[in-house]
Amino acid sequence: MALEQFLPVQVFGFLLVFSRLAGTLMLLPGLGEAYVPPRVRLLFALLLAIIVAPLVSAFLPPEPGSIFVLFKLILAEIVIGIYIGIVSRVLLLTLDSVGRFIALTIGMSNAEVFNPSISTQASLPGLLLTTMGVLILFSTNMHHVLILGISESYTMFPVGVFLPTGDMAFVLARVLADSFSLALQISAPFIVLSLAFFMGLGMLARLMPQLQIFFISLPVQLAGGLFVFSAVLSGLFTVFIEYYAEHVNQFLATN
């Protein structure tokens, strides 16, 4: 094969791989955060595409005969990459939902700060949990599993095959439901203790109407909530990392 024939084929394969990787890295936890410069993400996607392209070359179709087919392939690859990134992002944002539930029950729902993981205002516990979640994902090498899942996604989503949009929508709905359910389960101790605490305050207000319940309840609620939060923090992340690994292996990696 002549050099002028070899280079366009290699450029075509690299472009397809880069399109999928760039779509994923745009939303990938840790690498796709708002505080990561776009140039860094672009450079990382280029370097990763150089490594992954030779490994998945057997799954790539031949060079198309028209520019319309080329754009269609690139658009499909970008959609697949965004889908993988959204799944990984939703799994991480389970911690933000946990933080919102906790903030609501311990009296910190009005104290909000900017959370770069969701690019909007969030509760203080949500910011702490999502930041620690990204750190734990990197410390446990879960980002390696995600990158491996991207390279193995070519067996799950072959290039040039019509996208299974129905299955993709079902998976996203399933991940959203599971994430909300897990967030509610993790926050269950705070919800139960908050309910018991306010029931006790209601009884106390009936027994002693002259007592200023608000000035007594808020410091106790906040101090008790922070104590319970510190007690369950380790177990919270243990449950989360198991949940994250299970869903990444189920939806992204092939066994």
Given a cut of 60, whether residue 76 has pLDDT beyond it is: yes
pLDDT in tens, 80-135: 888 888 888 888 889 888 988 888 888 777 777 777 766 677 778 888 888 888 88
Given a cut of 80, whether residue 184 has pLDDT beyond it is: yes
Report the interhelical angle of 3-25 vs 38-55 (nearest 10°).
130
pTM to 2 decimal places: 0.80
Q: Minimum mean pLDDT among 192-196, 225-229, 250-254: which range?
A: 250-254
pLDDT at residue number 252? 52
> What span, in angstroms and rounded, lies between the C-alpha atoms of 152 and 248?
12
Please, what is the average pLDDT of the chain?
Answer: 81
pLDDT in tens, 125-171: 888 888 888 888 888 888 787 778 777 788 878 887 777 888 888 88
Query: Is there a contact between 62 and 10 (Cβ–Cβ < 8 Å)?
Result: no
